[in-house]
Chains A and B, each alone.
Chain A
Amino acid sequence: MKKEKDFDINNCYTISGKLALPYTYFAGRTGSTFITHIRDNKKIMGVRCNHCNKVFIPPRQTCEKCLSMISDNWVELENQGEILNYTVVRYDDNHLPRKAPFILAMIKLGKADTPVIHIVEGISINDVKEGLKVKAVFAEKTTNTILDIDHFEPV
C-alpha cells in the first residue's frame, strides 16, 4: 500500500481555485408569496393540508403524505412560538449567518404543526432551552429569503 513518502513530489505543486458563480433562482409561486408576506406585511404564513389536518412551514405546493395540492390553503401563523430543539454553533465559517457562537433552533410557531429552523438571539448561549418562548424580529433590509426574519428572540 502506497503512502505519501512513496510518491515522487519533486517539482510538483498545488494550485488555488474557487467556485464563485452568481445565480438567479426562481423562488416559486408558493415561495414568493411566503417571502413577500414576511417582507411587506410582517406575517409568517404556512399552508394547511385539509386532508392530513396539518399546517406546514415552510409552505409547499403539495402535501408529501397524501399528495393533495395545498398551496392555496394559506394560514397566518403566530409570530411567536416555542423552541423544540436547538444547537449552539461554535465554529466559524463563510456559509454561516453569524459569528460563533450562535444559536440555531427548531421553533414551533403558534398555529403551525411543523417547526421552522432559525437563529435565536437576545439570550446567552448558556440559557437557551427547550420550551423557551421566542418571537420573530423582522429584518430591516430584505434579502428575499428566510432571513427577512432576521432572528427570533425571547418573548
Chain B
Amino acid sequence: MSRRVAVCAVAQIKNEPDIWYQRFQGMLLECFEELIKKTGVTFDMDKGIRNIVTCSDDVFDARTISDSGMADVVGAHLRGEKKSAQNGINALGYGMSMILSGHDDLVLVMGHCKESQSESRNMCTNLAYDPFYLRPLGLDFLNVSAFQAREFMKKSNITDEHLAKIVVRSRKNASKNPFARENGSISEKDVISSPYLSDPVRELHQYPVTDWAVGLLLCCEERANEFTDKPVWLTGFGNCMDSYFPGDRELTSNFALKKAAARAYKMAGVKDPKTDIDLFELNDAIAYQLPLWAEGLGLVPEGESDLWVESDGMDRHHVNLSGGMLNGNPIMLSGLARAVECFLQLRGEAENRQVDGVKRALAHGTTGGAGQHHGVIILEK
C-alpha cells in the first residue's frame, strides 16, 4: 500500500478583515473554480471527484449543519461529503486517510470561515464550553489562553520583549505574502505598549478577526500525474486531544502536541525535526504560542525558546514565513493556511519569501482554548 498522498493543487482567496461584500459560498466558489482550472479534474463518477471533505463551523456561520449551505458550490451535490468542524488540519488528515485506506482516489478539501460575521469572536468560542462549569464564568479561547501564557512566560523566560519581536516579525513576513491580511507594519514598542486584553496577553499579541476560504485537491500516488506534474506529498499525520477542563491539564507540558508530532514523525520517518524538516508553519493564534509550540514539536529544547527567539532561530529554521496565524487566518482554517504555505514553498512558488532547497515541511493546527487539540502534517517534495 502506498504511504503517501499527493496534494495536486491549492487555491485560496486573500485573507481579509471583513468580506462583507461576498457570501461564504462565493468565497468558496472562487477557490473551487480555480482548482478545476488548474487540474482539469471532473466530477465524473468513474474517474472524477466522488468525495469532498469540508471544513466549517456552525457557530461562526450561524447555521447548523453549516456544510449543507454550500455543498453545491464545492461540487459535493449528489455525492459523498463529510464535514470537519475542527481546525482544517484535521480535514486534510481526514482526506489523506480516505485515500490511504483505499476508500477513494481523489478527495477535494474545501474550507471557509468568516470570523467577521459575528459581533464577537470571543462569544463564539465561549460556546465551546459546557453550560454548568465553564461557560457561565465567561471562559473563551482568549482568556483560557491567558492562563497558558502566564504559566509559560513564568517557566520559560519568554518576556514581553520576545513576544514583541515575534509579532513584528510576523507582520514583516506577511508583507511578502500576497494572500496575507494587510495589517500594516508596527514596531516592537507598539506591541509592548498595546493594552492588555487578558493579562499577560496584549491586544497586538492576538491574531486579528479574519475571513478566508481555501481548497486543496488530494489524490492517490498512482493517479497524481493526471492532475499535476509537481505533486507535494503528505507523508505523515498525527493528532491528539488533551483533557477538557483547563484545570486538569498541565498547560505548558505540550502533552497533546508531543503525541500528535510523534505520530506524524513516525509515519513520515522523521528522526529529528531540527535537521530532518526544512520549514515549519506553526499555529500561533497568540504570540506566546510560537515558542511554546516550537518546544512541543522538538524544534527547540524545552526551556530554551527564549534563547532561540533571541538568536533568530525562527529565521534559521524557516518558521512561519507566511506571517503565521498571528497575522490573521480564521480559527477554523489556520492549519490549512499553514499547509498551503508549505505546499507553495515545496513547489518553489512562494515568490519573494521562497527558501532554497525545501524538501520537507511541517504544518500544524490547533483547536480549542490554549491548544487543547493539536494536529501535525508532514509535507514533502
Q: Which residues of A contact B (CB under 8 A)?
A: 1-4, 7, 9, 12, 14, 17, 19, 23, 25, 27, 31, 35, 56-58, 64, 85-91, 93-98, 104, 106, 114-119, 143-147
Knowing A88-B196, A93-B122, A94-B120, say if A117 contacts B150 (CB, 8 Å): no
- Set of chain B residues within 8 Å of A14, measured between Cβ atoms: 20
Knowing A64-B243, A90-B195, say if A85 contacts B151 (CB, 8 Å): yes
Residue ID in chain A nearest B133 by CB atoms: A58
Other-chain residue from A3, A19, A31, A114 in contact with B248 (beta carbon distance below 8 A): A114
Nearest Cβ on chain B to A108's Cβ, whole angstroms? 8
Considering the chains assembled together, what is the distance between the CA atoms of A85 and B22 in angstroms? 43
The total of interchain contacts (Cβ-Cβ below 8 angstroms) comes to 113
Interface size class of B (residues with CB under 8 A): 35 or more
- Set of chain B residues within 8 Å of A91, measured between Cβ atoms: 122, 197-198
Considering the chains assembled together, what is the distance between the CA atoms of A93 and B22 in angstroms? 27
Considering the chains assembled together, what is the distance between the CA atoms of A25 and B246 in angstroms? 22
Other-chain residue from B14, B135, B199 in contact with A1 (beta carbon distance below 8 A): B14
- Set of chain A residues within 8 Å of B20, measured between Cβ atoms: 14
Considering the chains assembled together, what is the distance between the CA atoms of A27 and B131 in angstroms? 9
Residue ID in chain A nearest B178 by CB atoms: A1
Q: Which residues of B contact A (CB under 8 A)?
A: 13-14, 16, 19-22, 30, 59, 62, 120, 122-123, 126, 131-140, 143, 146-147, 150-151, 178-179, 195-201, 243, 245-248, 251
Considering the chains assembled together, what is the distance between the CA atoms of A118 and B137 in angstroms? 7
Considering the chains assembled together, what is the distance between the CA atoms of A89 and B199 in angstroms? 7
- Whether A116 contacts B140 by the Cβ 8 Å rule is no
- Whether A143 contacts B136 by the Cβ 8 Å rule is yes
- Whether A1 contacts B179 by the Cβ 8 Å rule is yes
Other-chain residue from A12, A86, A89 in contact with B150 (beta carbon distance below 8 A): A86
CB-CB nearest 4 A-B residue pairs: A87-B146, A96-B138, A95-B126, A115-B247
Residue ID in chain B nearest A108 by CB atoms: B247
- Whether A89 contacts B246 by the Cβ 8 Å rule is no
- Set of chain A residues within 8 Å of B134, measured between Cβ atoms: 117, 146
Knowing A25-B132, A117-B246, A146-B133, say if A85 contacts B147 (CB, 8 Å): yes
- Set of chain B residues within 8 Å of A2, measured between Cβ atoms: 13-14, 30
Knowing A64-B248, A116-B247, say if A7 contacts B22 (CB, 8 Å): yes
- Whether A106 contacts B138 by the Cβ 8 Å rule is no
- Set of chain A residues within 8 Å of B62, measured between Cβ atoms: 17, 19
